[in-house]
């Protein structure tokens, strides 16, 4: 059987450190400055202390990527942030051209890469439905035949005559998914877009994806949720630093992905505390949070993905609002509002001290550090009050 998608030695290179200009004369002046090691006269931000232009260099977002996808497969694409997932989908969607190699697709392609992609914000929801259908090659009568189903699925029928620029992000993703899923594509590409919708709409979308799969449509699905990929997909691809490091069944791919994140199963994420003393101190903190924190959820052993890597929060408190917006598998996409780390043999004092700023940058309002002697030291975001001002300083 001929593969629906065949990718052969696909590579994509970006040139970093080069500032593009609107005017040719500006580009020439910037090039001359770089050539002679002078400050760029057109740079918006310039480090005067260095008195040098940044040295341009090549960055390979994808490198020698090869795989084949058969008709009717649902393929989950996984990888840490910056691994090349979105670049791969943009190349497959013909949004950007590859630097090397080729990607061959057979059939009509519909892609939903981010909220509002492909929409003209000045047009109404109804007009955008017909615009997207025309782009996919459908005739007006074919779009008319599907229009009622699209509106019913999106559940925004009262706003179809409203310009899309006035939609919320949730309304845009509802309409975008409904359009992509009801215009009979042969290949459907989805890039982590379901995270925007509410839980009920996500379930509705997943059921629709399953219906699409049974009809023979091929789906390429990017997600950080290993549990979702294992449940929904038939095959999986894992990317790391722009290269394919694992392919196979969905379970095999998710197992490799979790191992690369130093996690094995979702059960191990909440595996308890390895030391009795650590467990006792963590229990004291958990009780304080449960008794004195505002309404929310107390959590334990949470891996949080930060720019500096994964930081494990021993105990935390997260508001209900944050819980609704988080990605939690296999790592949390943001830190709990109150993130507690307990110094132990596995978490040294130096390591925890390094984790304070990354956790704050990952939206923690407070970071508590618990010392072996029971001392509790609290750090907070600047200009914010402590959420539990009367928390004890010794446990």
Average pLDDT rounded to a whole number, residues 188-197: 71
pLDDT at res. 372: 83
Least confident of 27-41, 174-188, 213-227: 27-41
- Give the CB-side neighbour count of residue 147, counting CA atoms within 13 A: 18
- Average pLDDT value for residue range 14-43: 71
Distance CA 248, CA 142 (A): 37
pLDDT digits over 63-118, tens only?
Answer: 999 999 998 899 999 988 788 998 998 899 888 899 999 999 988 887 877 655 67
Q: What is the pLDDT of residue 29?
A: 80
Pairwise pLDDT comparison (135 vs 350), residue with the higher score: 350
Task: Indicate the helix (H) or strand (E) that contains 85.
Answer: helix 85-92
Cβ contact 78:22 at 8 Å:
no
What's the CA gap between 205 and 201, in Å, rounded?
A: 6
Two tokens, residue 153:
């699925």
pLDDT in tens, 312-339: 999 999 998 888 888 887 889 999 999 9
Distances (CA, A) of 351 to 200, 324, 345, 346: 40, 30, 11, 9
Average pLDDT (142-160) is 90
pLDDT for res 19: 53
Q: Which residue has the tokens 């780390």?
A: 341
The domain spans of the chain are: 11-60, 67-260, 268-380
The percent of residues above 90 in pLDDT, for the chain, comes to 30
User: What pLDDT score does 133 carry?
Assistant: 81
Mean pLDDT of the 281-294 span: 88
pLDDT, tens digit, for every residue of 217-248? 898 988 877 777 887 888 999 999 899 999 99
Residues 37-76 have pLDDT tens digits of 777 776 654 444 444 445 566 788 999 999 999 988 999 9
Domain spanning 67-260: CATH superfamily: P-loop containing nucleotide triphosphate hydrolases (3.40.50.300)
CATH superfamily membership of 268-380: tt1808, chain A (3.90.1570.10)
- Give this prediction's pTM: 0.57
With a cut of 50, say whether residue 181 has pLDDT above it: yes
Backbone angles phi, psi at 135, to 5 degrees: -60, -35
Q: 21-35, 43-57, 178-192, 261-275: which has the minimum mean pLDDT?
A: 261-275
């Amino acid at each position: 059987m001929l593969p629906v998608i065949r990718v052969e030695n696909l590579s994509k290179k970006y040139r970093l450190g080069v500032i593009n200009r609107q005017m040719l004369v500006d580009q020439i002046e910037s090039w001359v400055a770089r050539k002679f090691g002078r400050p760029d006269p057109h740079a918006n931000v310039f480090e005067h202390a260095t008195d040098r232009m940044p040295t341009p260099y090549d960055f390979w977002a994808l490198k020698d990527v090869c795989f084949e996808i058969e008709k009717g497969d649902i393929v989950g694409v996984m990888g840490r942030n910056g691994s090349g997932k979105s670049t791969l989908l943009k190349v497959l969607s013909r949004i950007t051209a590859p630097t090397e190699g080729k990607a061959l697709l057979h059939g009509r392609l519909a892609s939903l890469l981010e909220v509002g992609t492909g929409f003209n914000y000045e047009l109404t929801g109804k007009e955008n439905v017909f615009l997207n259908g025309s782009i996919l090659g459908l005739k007006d009568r074919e779009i008319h035949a599907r229009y009622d189903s699209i509106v019913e699925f999106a559940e925004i029928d009262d706003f179809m005559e409203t310009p899309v620029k006035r939609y919320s992000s949730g309304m845009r993703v509802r309409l975008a998914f409904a359009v992509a899923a009801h215009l009979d594509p042969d290949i459907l590409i989805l890039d982590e877009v379901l995270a925007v919708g509410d839980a009920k709409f996500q379930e509705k979308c997943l059921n629709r994806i399953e219906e699409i799969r049974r009809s023979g449509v091929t789906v390429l699905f990017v997600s950080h949720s290993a549990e979702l990929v294992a449940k929904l997909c038939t095959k999986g691809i894992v990317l790391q630093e722009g290269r394919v490091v694992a392919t196979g069944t969905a379970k095999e791919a998710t197992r490799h992905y979790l191992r690369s994140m130093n996690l094995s199963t979702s059960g191990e994420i909440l595996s308890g505390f390895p030391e009795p003393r650590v467990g006792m101190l963590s229990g004291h903190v958990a009780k304080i949070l449960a008794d004195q924190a505002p309404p929310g959820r107390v959590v334990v052993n949470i891996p949080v993905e930060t720019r500096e890597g994964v930081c494990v929060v021993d105990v935390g408190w997260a508001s209900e609002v944050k819980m609704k917006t988080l990605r939690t598998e296999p790592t949390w996409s943001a830190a709990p509002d109150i993130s507690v780390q307990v110094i132990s043999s596995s978490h040294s004092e130096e390591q925890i001290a390094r984790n304070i700023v990354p956790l704050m940058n990952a939206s923690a309002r407070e970071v508590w550090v618990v010392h072996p002697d029971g001392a509790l030291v609290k750090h907070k975001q600047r200009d914010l009050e402590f959420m539990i001002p009367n928390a004890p300083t010794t446990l």
